[in-house]
Amino acid sequence: MNEIAIYPENTSQKIKLYIGYWLGYILLFSLVQGLPTADFWRALYNECYSVFPKIIFVLLIVEVAMPKLFFRKRKALFIFVYLISILFFAFIQRLIDNYIIIAFNLTEWKSEPLFSAPVYLYNVIKLQFVVTVPLIIKLVYYIAEAKNKVQLIISEKLQAELFSLRNQFHPHFLFNVLNSLYSRILSKSDDSADIVLKVSDFLRYSVYEVNTKHIPLEKEIEYLKNYISLQQLRFDNRLELSFSTNGITENQVIEPFLILPFIENSFKYCLDDVSSKAWITISITFSEEWLIIKIENSLPQDFFEDKKAKNPYSGTGISNVKRRLELLYPERHVLNIKNEVESFFVSLKIKINDTN
């Protein structure tokens, strides 16, 4: 993702930005308070004495409260933390005013009570002023980053769809399906019409129904079933497959093409040209706001001894879906992949939307 120069995420650049900001702030207020009395240096000392609570306050609000609360749609809690913080640090400023600045630097001044309304309000206003610029810059950066993220999600989704379509319409796959259909038509098999219907539904979904951002989970699962049925035509009795679902309702929605790449890989790598038998187990369940997908497939004998053999989960399709998960479900998904001697196992948990 492209970074915005006005608020870089690079730590060293951010430190330089803050240093420049605080030096400018100290100089500005030293001039504002020191020039009218022709006592710039004493004003400069006063600002240096009182700058550290301001720095802590700004970092707390801009670097902690905004990312943890405001940007995560917990605005009420953010406002509460903001108000408590500004009142607390205004009190700290009052302590510095009375017991450091007036006691040692402005000895001719008379100290005011700690909770004197005018001077306490002045410290609140000064804290509000000092946090406004970093807060606005952070907010502008967040909005720009969110727009970039939306564009990146659209781009990644398009790449995923194109990649999936390329795999699904690969001549090897389609020729196997058509050859199986042809042989069944010749033998006047009763399932010929069902195969045609599955191919039709499969193509319709792939081309038209993935244009929406979210689709019903039930529809995605039906699409996966059609894909699995068509893939099974390639292997006849060589493949033992188990597919189960649980807890799926019509109210659940999901981004399309997130589960398919893992299933594609299980078919791609579970059988080779000489394997006599193979197996795939697929489980999709929904429990307590989490969609749980578990996929395990066998591997051909001596799979890892073949120098040409690739890791089934290191290709473009899997890298693409990992990236999409990071963009679409940040901090709302868990992906685990286990590389066993005789099998591969994938466990994917996604906290998905429910329209209820």
Kindly state the average pLDDT of the residues 198-227: 77
Name the 3-class secondary structure at 280. strand
Q: Residue 82 has what pLDDT?
A: 93
Token code pair at residue 239: 């493949």
Mean pLDDT of the chain: 80
9: pLDDT strictly greater than 60: no
Long-range contacts of residues 59-68, Cβ cutoff 8 Å, at least 24 apart: 60/85, 61/85, 61/131, 61/135, 62/131, 62/134, 62/135, 62/138, 66/135, 66/138, 66/139, 66/142
In this predicted structure, what is the pLDDT of residue 47?
85
Report pTM: 0.54
Q: What is the per-residue pLDDT for 64?
A: 92
Work out the average pLDDT over 261-275.
76
**How is residue 123 written in tokens?**
């410290």
Burial 176-198 (b: 16+ CB within 10 A, else e): bbeebbeebeeeeeeebeebeeb
pLDDT at 5: 40
Task: Tell me which of 36-45, 141-150, 200-209, 300-309 is least confident.
Answer: 300-309
The per-residue pLDDT for 284 is 96
| Residue carrying the six token digits 């804290």 | 127
| pLDDT above 70: residue 120 | yes
Please give the share of the chain, as a percent, with pLDDT higher than 90: 23
Per-residue pLDDT at 317 exceeds 80 = no
- 239 versus 175: which is more confidently predicted? 239
- Flag whether pLDDT at 259 surpasses 60: yes
Confidence of residue 212 (pLDDT cuts 50, 70, 90): low
Contact yes or no for 348/262 (Cβ under 8 A): yes
At residue 285, does pLDDT exceed 90?
Answer: yes
* Residue, of 13 and 172, whose pLDDT is higher: 13
Calculate what percentage of the chain has a pLDDT beyond 70. Answer: 79
How confident is the model at residue 310, as a pLDDT? 56
